[in-house]
Structure formats: C-alpha cells, structure tokens
Amino acid sequence: MPLHVSNYSWQQTSTAVFISVPLRGVSVRDADVFCTENYLKVNCPPFLFEVFLYAPIDDESSKAKIGNNTIVFTLRKKEAAMWETLSLSGVDKEMMQRIREKSILQAQERAKEAMEAKAVARREDQKYTLNVMMKIEEEERKKIEDMKENERIKATKELEAWKECQRKAEELKIIQREEKLYHQEKQKKKK
C-alpha cells in the first residue's frame, strides 16, 4: 500500500500554481509523473501523491522539475483567477475514480492524436521526398532525351552531308565520264 504524501506545499498567482512535493529517501528519478488538465499524480514507490485540481490547467505548457529529493510543479492555469484551494473538496471515491479514468482516456486520446499527427507528417515527408526524387529523375530523363535528340540531329546532318558529298562525287564521275566519252568521240572523228 503506497504512502500518501501530505506534506506538500503550494503557492499561486492568477496565472500559475506552484506545487512542491518532497520525496525524501527515494530516487526521484524513478518518479512516474502523470498530469492532465484536472488531475496530477506522482508515483514514486513507496510514495504516492495525487491531487484533483480545483480548476483546469494547461497541461501542455505546465512543467515538472525533479531534483534534491523534491518535485516542483509549475502548472499554468487555463483561466486567470485565484483558486480557493488546490484540490476539489468533497470528492468521494467514485468521483475520484471517474476523474482518474477520464484523465487516462484524455491522455490516451492525446497520445493517439500525436501518433497520428506524427504518422501524417512522416507520410507528408515521404511524399515530398518522393516528389523531389521524381522531379530529379524527370530532369535527368529529359536531359538524356535532349542529348539523344541532339545526337540524332547531328547524325542526321552528318548523314545528309555524306549523302550530298556522295551525290556530288557521282555527278563528278558522270561529268568526267561524259568528258572522257566526248574526247574519245572527238579523237575518233579526227581519225
């Protein structure tokens, strides 16, 4: 059975609550701290500290500092106001259990949402990376296609130039043959 810590101290401002929980003779590094907007629990065997808060806090911006056999909480209030007491008064065991269960469900839901948000962010990162890679590959493919097209155009021009050179060489051969025939005919006539 845990020992309930009752020698804590607390102070407040209109926007924050400061709670100091002494845990003498144990390693506070092993403390399990659970905090939601209406509930705060520290389990550091054999000690247990729990409080059902008077009003809601912003558990996201609240902090716990552990050291020197003490845990100091800085809890940010959701609404700026002075509290009459730290904890709710007239809380029976059933209500305590309902608040605990509700707090646990809220924490589980928030953890689930955080995991889903992280998964969505990871998918978005992967999608972005994939898009960047696809763009890089597309640019490389286009560059290769442009090089191929330039080589094809160059080869076509060279082939056309070679064909033109061959055509001119054929024409020259024909002209030379005709001249040769012409000279041979001319010489035949002279004889």
* pLDDT 10s digits, 23-78: 877 776 778 888 988 899 988 888 888 999 999 999 889 998 988 888 899 999 99
Element spanning 39, H or E: strand 39-44
* pLDDT 10s digits, 42-57: 888 888 889 999 999 9
How many CA atoms does the CB half-sphere of 27 hold within 13 Å? 2
**What are 41's strand-pairing partners?**
34, 50
Residue 67: CB partners within 8 Å, gap ≥ 6? 28
**Domain definitions of the chain by residue range:** 3-87, 92-190
* pLDDT 10s digits, 134-155: 999 999 999 999 999 999 999 9
Indicate yes or no: pTM above 0.75.
no
Q: Under CATH, which architecture does the 3-87 domain have?
A: Sandwich (2.60)
Give, rounded to a whole angstrom, the gap between the first and last alpha carbons of the chain.
144
Pick from 64, 32, 56: nearest CA to 45: 32
